Amino acid sequence: MSKPGLPQGTRDFGPQTVYKRNFIFQTIRSVFELYGYEPLETPAMENLDTLLGKYGEEGDKLIFKILNNGLDHESKKDSARAAFENILAGKNDKVITERALRYDLTIPFARYVATHFHELSFPFRRYQLQPVWRADRPQKGRYREFYQCDADVVGSKSTMNEVELTQIYLTVFEKLGIDVELRINHRKILEGLAVSCGGTEYTVPITMAIDKLDKIGTEKVKLELQEKGLDEKQVKLIEKYLLIHGSNAEKIQQLTDILPNAAVQSGLQDLRYVLSFFENDNSNINHHPGNIVLDFSLARGLNYYTGIIFEVRAKGISIGSIGGGGRYDDLTGLFGVPGIPGVGISFGVDRIYDVMDELNLFPPTVQKSTQVLFFNLGEEAAIRCFDLMQELRRAEIRCELYHEHARFDKQFKYAEKKNIPRVIIIGDDELRSGIAKIKDLRSGVHTEVPFGDLIRLFNAESLKPKA
């Protein structure tokens, strides 16, 4: 058999990549937990019924479905015939597939909340960091298996939640060392724009067109609006809206001038509330206020958001959004439990990885390779090395013994290839003297250390300031 490949759009993660990804995951998790968000994990498989119809027609097509058992290549003739006949007879809808892979983390969360409604205490804060699967056409930066990372609080209408989620975004990206711009807007403001254009029936076409602004530019947005039946006056108003600019305060002033209606005022009230926590001279908020930018052209697609919406972009690198979210009125209505509002944010962890890798932002300490290789100079020495290694390991020092008695150059090469910074050489002479030879492969420096002092050598190193 020839060497096997991987399915399109999927990836292996080797050790160094896993360490780096875990650094991102662990940073986000620890911040979530500081704010009272708790972990939830749901299975990769959901019942197909749970997922279908939740992501629009296009989404349904991108759900990976799992073949019912028995319907495989082994018994394919019989099962294909049976499936075909059943379907023609209209006898069984579920003859081919009843299960599917999770497409996002929101619907499984909604299913969980609906099912456990009576056991949960509200507001319920959860975070979830798991892979999802989409049968999208793979391309650079778009995979068929990728991680999502969501935090949601449900059962609360308080805008304090938006304040805290904003704070979570800024804290995480500060800890990761990524300079970001957090854009915020409010669905009520887009609704207010539609109202000033003649009525809420314009909300969907206007939102859809504005959502494409980044991709197609103002002129094509205007064209699309005309095609959707908006007249010159309406398009002019929208153009004026899109040209709003300046500081956050200037933008608010311009918006109020252009769209003096109640929906806009209601949206602005929430936005002002959130901004108030970050724009005053509060010494406890040490993030630069410039990081939070009102962006009235932010639309976040045609999803279920009803209030404040968020989007995060990394400064100085063109990679699209690395986070997004917003407030919704009804998480679980589709599952028979109406009236649970909430707000959530998401981290685009695959893109965050790409940004950090490209900008060289991973601290060197993230790479947890073996700290020292013990050379193997024969059975007797190896047994003594094994004992010494047990002492080091009890002191949490990562070490290895070369697996067999071999030439020095072979053992050096292994250490170099595995990026092990130090080797310890214990042969017959060292066994007699009780003093180990140590070579630092980074500096090339040789030292000699009595067996009993080996731990101290590493402990001294781990006390040095970390990057």
Kindly identify the residues of this chain, within the stretch 411-450, that bind its own copies according to CB under 8 A: 413-414, 417-418
As a whole number of angstroms, the distance between CA 373 and CA 436 comes to 12
Q: For CA atoms 320, 324, 330, 331, give the dihedral sign.
A: positive
Shortest distance in whole angstroms from residue 4 CB to its own copies: 4
Nearest residue (CB) to its own copies, 305 versus 402: 402
- What number of chain residues touch its own copies (CB under 8 A)? 116
Piece of the chain touching its own copies by CB under 8 A; list 262-270, 409-417, 442-450, 456-464: 409-417
As a whole number of angstroms, the distance between CA 436 and CA 249 comes to 68
Piece of the chain touching its own copies by CB under 8 A; list 226-234, 301-309, 321-329, 384-392: 384-392
237-245: long-range contacts at Cβ-Cβ below 8 A with a sequence spacing of 24 or more? 237/193, 237/196, 237/197, 238/193, 238/197, 238/206, 238/210, 241/193, 241/296, 241/297, 242/210, 242/213, 242/218, 242/296, 242/297, 244/296
**Would you state the structure tokens that stand for residue 369, as one six-digit string?**
């390779």
Determine which residue in the list 24, 40, 263, 292 makes contact with its own copies, applying CB under 8 A.
40
- Quick check: helix, strand or coil at residue 359? coil
Nearest residue (CB) to its own copies, 210 versus 420: 420
Nearest residue (CB) to its own copies, 205 versus 421: 421
Binding to its own copies (CB under 8 A) within 81-140 occurs at 81, 83-84, 87-88, 93, 96-99, 101, 111-112, 114-116, 121, 123, 125-126, 131, 133, 135
As a whole number of angstroms, the distance between CA 195 and CA 407 comes to 81
By CB under 8 A, tell whether 10 contacts its own copies. yes
As a whole number of angstroms, the distance between CA 258 and CA 454 comes to 73
Shortest distance in whole angstroms from residue 211 CB to its own copies: 25
Binding to its own copies (CB under 8 A) within 266-285 occurs at 277, 282, 284-285
By CB under 8 A, tell whether 24 contacts its own copies. no
Q: What is the per-residue binding string for its own copies in 138-177, x denoting contact by CB under 8 A?
A: ------xx-------x--xxx-xx-xx--x---x------
Shortest distance in whole angstroms from residue 266 CB to its own copies: 18
- Specify whether the CB–CB gap between 375 and 411 falls below 8 A: yes
By CB under 8 A, tell whether 459 contacts its own copies. no
Shortest distance in whole angstroms from residue 225 CB to its own copies: 31
Binding to its own copies (CB under 8 A) within 386-405 occurs at 386-387, 390-391, 393, 396-401, 403-404
By CB under 8 A, tell whether 49 contacts its own copies. yes
Shortest distance in whole angstroms from residue 96 CB to its own copies: 6
Q: For CA atoms 299, 304, 310, 313, give the dihedral sign.
A: negative
Strand partners, 131: 147
By CB under 8 A, tell whether 288 contacts its own copies. no
Any residues with CB less than 8 A from the CB of 100 and at least 6 apart, and which? 45, 46, 47, 48, 51, 52, 63, 64, 65, 66
- Quick check: helix, strand or coil at residue 117? coil
As a whole number of angstroms, the distance between CA 54 and CA 335 comes to 11
Nearest residue (CB) to its own copies, 106 versus 171: 171
**Residue carrying the six token digits 């004026």:** 240
**Helix ranges, 280-417 (H):** 349-358, 379-394, 408-417
Nearest residue (CB) to its own copies, 110 versus 197: 110
Determine which residue in the list 25, 59, 60, 181 makes contact with its own copies, applying CB under 8 A.
60
Shortest distance in whole angstroms from residue 23 CB to its own copies: 12
As a whole number of angstroms, the distance between CA 136 and CA 130 comes to 18
